[in-house]
């Protein structure tokens, strides 16, 4: 790798963005600086890498202000952080929200993922293509994977670079609205409907996780306290760290991020590690297509997450926490920034919290449009300023995680469960739901239902009951074709399988998965092969490329699906392509490093085997 700088210099705006974030440079931009930095790299060592963890945030700062990352900006960031520009280039090009080619300052990302596909995004894109040409940065609009706004599908996100930048959700969106945004700018963030709109049950007294959403002012710590906020933290301090862990173990809480790992065991193992410091990461990346539950908590009850993280840190011995937040959640970020500042100011974060001798603080780290960065070890690399590629396990995060220190990673929904666990007690919490899947669960219901949204229900509700809660199918005439459980990494079930109980064990028994709680409903108007092609292109796009089975397999899978859909009724060609799909799918499942490759074939396999998709081709 060439460690030398090119002669490209940063523009005034780029330099200001970096300096505003890192503080003023102590020496100017000169050849001397560059030589000195080249030398530091050649010598290597910890000091050189010490500031690298700021890389993603600095790149965001430039991108926010200018809209793309020029060679001059790469050079200047390199000088300031002591990171080779080639290395920064490899990081920047990893994330879809960044560009190393000039982009107009205003870009609209139009979601073409599965929930939006089921609700008309194709028509929006067709109209935009007619007006502006094929999607591309130069045209001002881009096609995007799921934006976490599936209940308001079809969705779009407008981003306008500037100081400050503006980001605006447009959902449900029409081509005319995208056009008017491209011409005259996005409306103000405050015009966005509140997150309570995504919670059709809002106000229901029996809710546990969602009880404050829509009732509490998400900007006010006092209002949070008036609605029972910070009672659980006081209980935690009275119980002590081991007591909190005991309650969480007794609650039998399983992680809600998709892997269903026992949370109490994770916290206890981390607490037992002698190596210090310990870190806590809240996984708020939420990029599984069809998932938007974490967004609703982050926007509707942000202090609940801050309090829960404080308790999790207390129990696991962590002194520093990160919220790894989806780059596409501007409102959640604004509310969290406000919440963290306020909690710090009022003694709920920082040194000696509420006088109990426990110190802990939280930083936000913004993702930048990479699904793989939701994988827990990919988050470590992303926060540390490297490409967000997963690490091999073992070592497991509880032993060697962020900065090679013991680390707890938990999903947003998992974390906020600690509040009812502590207020009602672990054993009482364990009585909600079923023996093996305890507590309330948030389900992300989208697609062809009358009232898409987040629904809270105890584990054990059947799929049919949940669809009924969401108002059933919207059009009287259409009938249920299939349901995708667990998102792109999940699997399809048939219309006659709606008695499946929604629990980890029930879905496993039915040979499918609950994943993170995606319930994407398709009526008989939906073109299933098209959905499968979208899923295949999603995995091809999002594979980090690190391991061969996934890097090559996701490409071959998509190609074979294209051939099947193009070849119509040729049974021989179908058989050959199906055999290839099965072979490639098996290799991806068996030999990929991480869950992305391991699950990339699951939904497609389930559509072929369970729904009989393409059966007319046989
Ligand atoms: C490709 C991939 C993407 C993932 N994305 C997310 C995500 O967006 N949010 C999340 O909480 N977990 C995600 N996970 C699961 C995490 O790796 C990890 O299991 C989880 O954050 C642990 O938290 P929990 O125990 O509270 O579920 C993903 C896993 C894989 C393999
Ligand atoms: S399975 Fe795919 S996403 Fe995961 S490490 Fe391998 S290439 Fe990357
Ligand atoms: S916002 Fe489009 S699929 Fe989720």
Residue with tokens 């190609």: 559
Tokens 């790299």, residue located: 41
Distance 412 CA to ligand 1 centre (A): 10
Q: Are 415 and 312 in contact (CB under 8 A)?
A: yes
Measured in degrees and rounded to the nearest 5, phi and psi for residue 104 equal -60, 155
Taking the centre of ligand 3 as the mean of its atom positions, its distance from the CA of residue 120, in whole angstroms, is: 11
Question: CA 572, CA 582: separation in Å to the nearest integer?
Answer: 15
Ligand 3 pocket test, pick from 113, 169, 487, 534 with the greatest ligand atom count within 8 Å of Cβ, gives: 113
CA of 126 to the centre of ligand 3 (A): 17
Question: What is the position in ligand 3's atom list of the atom closest to the CA of 171?
Answer: 1
Atom of ligand 1 nearest to the CA of 376: 17
164: CA distance to ligand 1 center in Å? 31
Q: What is the DSSP letter of 360?
A: B
Beta strands in 112-257 (DSSP E): 141-144, 156-160, 166-170
For residue 2, the CA-to-ligand 3 centroid distance in Å is 40
Residues with CB under 6 A from ligand 2: 372, 390, 543-547, 550-551, 592-594, 596-597
Measured CA to CA, the distance from residue 485 to residue 289 in angstroms comes to 11
Ligand lying nearest the CA atom of residue 116: 3
- Distance between Cα 91 and ligand 1 center (Å): 21
Candidate of 378, 386, 390 to mutate for ligand 2, largest count of ligand atoms within 8 Å of Cβ: 390
Q: Compute the C-alpha angle 490/496/499, nearest 5°.
A: 75
C-alpha 116 – ligand 3 centre gap (Å): 5
Token pair belonging to 420: 């009812």
State the distance from the centre of ligand 3 to the C-alpha of 278, rounded, in angstroms: 35
Alpha-carbon distance of 484 to 115, in angstroms, equals 10
Ligand 2 atom closest to the CA of 597, numbered from 1: 1
Q: Whose CA is nearest to atom 12 of ligand 1?
A: 257
DSSP label at residue 611: I
Ligand 1 pocket residue status of 78, Cβ below 6 Å: no
pLDDT for position 575:
93
Q: Which atom of ligand 1 is nearest to the CA of 414?
A: 26
**HSE of 567, CA atoms in CB hemisphere, 13 A:** 19
Ligand 3, pocket-test mutation among 122, 125, 147, 448, most atoms within 8 A of CB: 147
The Å distance, Cα 283 to ligand 1 centre, comes to 7
The rounded distance, in Å, linking the Cα atoms of 427 and 430 is: 5
The Cα-based distances of 495 to 147, 150, 434, 610 in angstroms read 27, 21, 24, 10
Alpha-carbon gap, residue 87 to 541, rounded angstroms: 21
Q: pTM for the whole thing?
A: 0.95
What per-residue confidence (pLDDT) applies to 1? Answer: 40
Nearest-CA residue for ligand 1 atom 29 is 375
Is the CB–ligand 3 distance for residue 151 below 6 Å?
no
For the CA of 263, the closest atom of ligand 1 is 25
* Residue 403, phi-psi category: left (phi > 0), alpha (psi -120 to 50), beta (remainder): left
Specify the length of the chain in residues. 618
pLDDT at residue 24, rounded to an integer? 87
Atom 8 in ligand 2: residue holding the nearest Cα: 544
Nearest to 448 by CA among 483, 473, 466: 473
Task: Point out which residues pair with 325 in neighbouring strands.
Answer: 284, 366
Distance of alpha carbon 91 from its chain centroid, rounded? 18
Q: How far is the CA of 166 from the centre of ligand 3 (A)?
A: 21
Cα(576)–Cα(564) distance, rounded to whole angstroms?
A: 10
Quick one: residue 108, left, alpha or beta (phi over 0 = left, psi -120 to 50 = alpha)?
beta
CA distance 340 to 348: 9
Q: Which atom of ligand 2 is nearest to the CA of 554?
A: 2
Contact call for residues 157 and 129 (beta carbons, < 8 A): no
d(CA 560, CA 476): 36
Pocket test for ligand 1, best of 324, 375, 413, 600 (most atoms within 8 A of CB): 375
Question: Which ligand is the nearest neighbour of the Cα of 152?
Answer: 3
Q: How far is the CA of 43 from the centre of ligand 2 (A)?
A: 32
What one-character-per-residue DSSP string does 475-517 give?
A: STT--EEEEEESGGGSEEEEGGGTT-B-SHHHHHHTT---TTT
Distances (CA, A) of 213 to 98, 207, 335, 480, 570: 33, 10, 14, 31, 53
Q: What is the enclosing helix (H) or strand (E) of 421?
A: helix 418-424
Give the residue, out of 371, 382, 539, 547, with the most ligand 2 atoms within 8 A of its beta carbon, to mutate for a pocket test: 547
Ligand 1 geometric centre to CA of 423 (Å):
26
In 10 A of CB 612, how many CB atoms? 12
d(CA 249, CA 313): 16
User: Best of 112, 144, 146 to mutate for ligand 3, by most ligand atoms within 8 A of CB?
Assistant: 146
Sheet architecture: strand order including 106-111: 141-144, 106-111, 156-160, 166-170
What is the rounded distance in angstroms from the CA atom of residue 506 to the CA atom of residue 262? 17
Q: Counting Cβ atoms within 10 Å, is residue 350 exposed (0-12), middle (13-18) or buried (19+)?
A: middle
Helix (H, G, I), strand (E, B) or coil at 590: helix
| The pair of three-digit structure tokens given for residue 73, joined into one six-digit string | 């900006």
Residue 491 bridge partners (DSSP): 485
Partners of 483 in the β-ladder = 493, 521
Report the C-alpha gap between 366 and 383 in whole angstroms. 9
Of 252, 259, 415, 592, best ligand 1 pocket probe by most atoms within 8 Å of the beta carbon: 259
What residues of the chain score a pLDDT lower than 70?
A: 1-5, 26-49, 186-191, 475-477, 616-618
CB atoms within 10 A of CB 345: 11
Give the separation between CA 274 and CA 561, rounded to whole angstroms.
Answer: 50
CB 523 within 8 A of CB 473: yes
Identify the residue whose tokens are 């099947």: 564
Find the 138 Cα to ligand 3 centroid distance in Å: 23
Contact criterion met (CB below 8 Å) for 490 and 515: yes
Residue indicated by tokens 């239902």: 449
**Coil/strand/helix, residue 433:** strand
Q: How many CB atoms lie within 10 A of CB 479?
A: 10
Residue for token pair 């969401």: 470
Q: How far is the CA of 43 from the centre of ligand 3 (A)?
A: 47
Using alpha carbons only, how large is the chain's radius of gyration in Å? 24
Residue 324 DSSP SS3: strand
CA of 269 to the centre of ligand 1 (A): 19
Residues 25-34 as b/e (b if ≥16 CB within 10 A, e otherwise) read: eeeebeeebb
Ligand sitting nearest the alpha carbon of 285 = 1
């Amino acid at each position: 790798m060439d460690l030398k700088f090119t002669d490209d210099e940063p523009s005034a705006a780029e330099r200001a963005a970096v300096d505003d974030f890192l503080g003023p440079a102590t020496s100017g931009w000169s050849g001397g600086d560059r030589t000195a930095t080249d030398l530091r790299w050649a010598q290597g060592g910890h000091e050189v890498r010490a500031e690298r963890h700021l890389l993603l945030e600095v790149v965001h700062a430039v991108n926010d202000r200018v809209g793309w990352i020029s060679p001059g900006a790469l050079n200047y960031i390199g000088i300031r952080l002591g990171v080779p520009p080639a290395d920064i280039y490899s990081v920047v090009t990893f994330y879809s929200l960044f560009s190393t080619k000039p982009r107009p300052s205003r870009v609209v990302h139009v979601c073409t993922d599965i929930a939006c596909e089921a609700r008309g995004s194709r028509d929006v894109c067709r109209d935009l293509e007619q007006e502006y040409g094929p999607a591309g940065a130069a045209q001002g609009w881009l096609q995007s994977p799921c934006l976490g706004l599936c209940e308001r599908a079809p969705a779009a996100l407008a981003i306008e670079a500037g100081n400050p930048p503006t980001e605006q959700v447009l959902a449900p969106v029409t081509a005319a609205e995208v056009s008017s945004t491209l011409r005259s700018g996005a409306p103000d963030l405050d015009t966005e409907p509140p997150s309570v709109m995504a919670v059709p049950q809002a106000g229901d007294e029996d809710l546990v996780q969602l009880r404050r959403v829509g009732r509490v002012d998400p900007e006010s710590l006092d209002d949070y306290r008036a609605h029972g906020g910070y009672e659980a933290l006081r209980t935690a301090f009275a119980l002590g760290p081991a007591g909190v862990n005991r309650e969480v173990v007794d609650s039998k809480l399983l992680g809600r991020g998709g892997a269903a790992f026992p949370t109490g065991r994770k916290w206890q193992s981390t607490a037992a590690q002698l190596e210090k410091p310990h870190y806590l990461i809240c996984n708020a990346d939420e990029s599984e297509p069809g998932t938007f539950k974490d967004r609703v908590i982050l926007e509707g009850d942000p202090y609940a997450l801050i309090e829960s993280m404080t308790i999790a840190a207390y129990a696991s011995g962590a002194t520093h926490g990160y919220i790894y937040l989806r780059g596409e959640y501007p409102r959640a970020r604004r509310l969290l920034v406000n919440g963290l500042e306020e909690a710090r100011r009022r003694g709920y974060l920082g040194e000696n919290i509420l006088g109990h001798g426990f110190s802990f603080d939280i930083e936000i780290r913004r993702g930048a449009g990479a699904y793989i960065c939701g994988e827990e070890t990919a988050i470590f690399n992303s926060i540390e300023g490297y490409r967000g590629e997963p690490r091999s396990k073992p070592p497991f995060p509880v032993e060697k995680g962020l900065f090679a220190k013991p680390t707890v990673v938990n999903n947003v929904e998992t974390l906020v469960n600690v509040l009812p666990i502590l207020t009602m007690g672990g054993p009482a919490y364990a009585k909600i739901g079923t023996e093996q899947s305890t507590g309330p669960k948030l389900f992300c219901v989208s697609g062809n239902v009358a009232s898409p949204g987040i629904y809270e229900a105890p584990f054990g509700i059947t799929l049919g009951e949940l669809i009924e809660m969401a108002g059933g199918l919207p059009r009287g005439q259409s009938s249920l074709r299939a349901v995708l459980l667990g998102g792109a990494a999940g699997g399809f079930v048939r219309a006659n399988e709606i008695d499946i109980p929604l629990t980890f064990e029930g879905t496993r028994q039915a040979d499918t998965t609950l994943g993170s709680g995606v319930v994407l409903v398709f009526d008989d108007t939906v073109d299933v092969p098209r959905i499968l092609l979208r899923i295949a292109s999603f995995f091809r796009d999002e594979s980090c490329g690190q391991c061969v089975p996934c890097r090559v397999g996701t490409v071959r899978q998509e190609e074979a699906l294209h051939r099947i859909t193009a070849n119509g009724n040729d049974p021989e060609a179908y058989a050959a392509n199906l055999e290839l799909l099965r072979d490639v799918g098996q290799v991806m499942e068996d030999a990929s490093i991480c869950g992305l490759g391991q699950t990339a074939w699951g939904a497609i396999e389930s559509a072929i085997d369970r729904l009989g998709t393409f059966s007319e081709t046989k």
